[in-house]
Structures are given as C-alpha cells and as structure tokens.
Amino acid sequence: MNRFTVCGDPRAERERPKDRNMTKDAMIEWFKSAPMGSRHERMLWAAHKIARLTGATEGGTYQMLLVALIEAERLLPDEYQDVLGLTR
C-alpha cells in the first residue's frame, strides 16, 4: 500500500500508479524488443517493463502478453512467425 495513503497525506494522489492501457500490438512490440534469451526470459522482461509503464501487476501483464502472443501465432502463417521471434 502507498505510505502516503495510509497517513492521509495529499501527496497520495500524485503517487498513484499509472492507469495506462496498452494494446496487444504494443505488448508484442515490447516482447520483440526484449534482449535475446529464451522465450520465457523475454516474456518476463517484457512483462516487467509493461507493468512498470501501466501500473498493472507483473503476473497479470505476463498472462495478457501470453494471450497476445498465442493469438499472434495463430493468425500468422508459419513462414512469418520466425520474423516476429514467435517460434518456439
């Protein structure tokens, strides 16, 4: 919990996490920009960055990113999946 909120300090409103939404395309772009490593490491990196930007939890962000990547895999033909780094 925010320490300013607990004591009723007016600075609590300024310290609120960002309530920004992010599209699935933007999430996939963060995944693609992750440093090279295993798919899981790249997803963790992207989920951490997205969570910091949006104020969401890392676990929830990881799940949304996983869903976005699965949908992207399903929609793209096989020959284009390696271009996005979506192959396993």
**pLDDT per residue over 20-34, tens digit each?**
788 999 999 999 999
pLDDT tens-digit readout, 50-78: 999 998 899 999 999 999 999 988 887 76
Residue 86 is given by DSSP the state: -
- Alpha carbon 79 to chain centroid distance? 25
* Mean pLDDT confidence for 4-21: 59
Q: Which residue has the higher pLDDT, 68 or 82?
A: 68
Distances (CA, A) of 54 to 9, 10, 17, 47: 23, 22, 8, 10
Query: Considering the entire predicted model, what is its pTM?
Result: 0.67
Q: Report the first-to-last Cα separation within the chain, whole angstroms.
A: 38
What does the pLDDT read at residue 84?
59
Average pLDDT, the chain: 80
pLDDT tier at 14, thresholds 50, 70, 90: low
- CA dihedral sign of residues 80, 21, 66, 37: positive
Count of C-beta atoms within a 10 Å radius of residue 32: 13
What does the pLDDT read at residue 2?
53
User: Tokens at residue 43, please?
Assistant: 């997803």
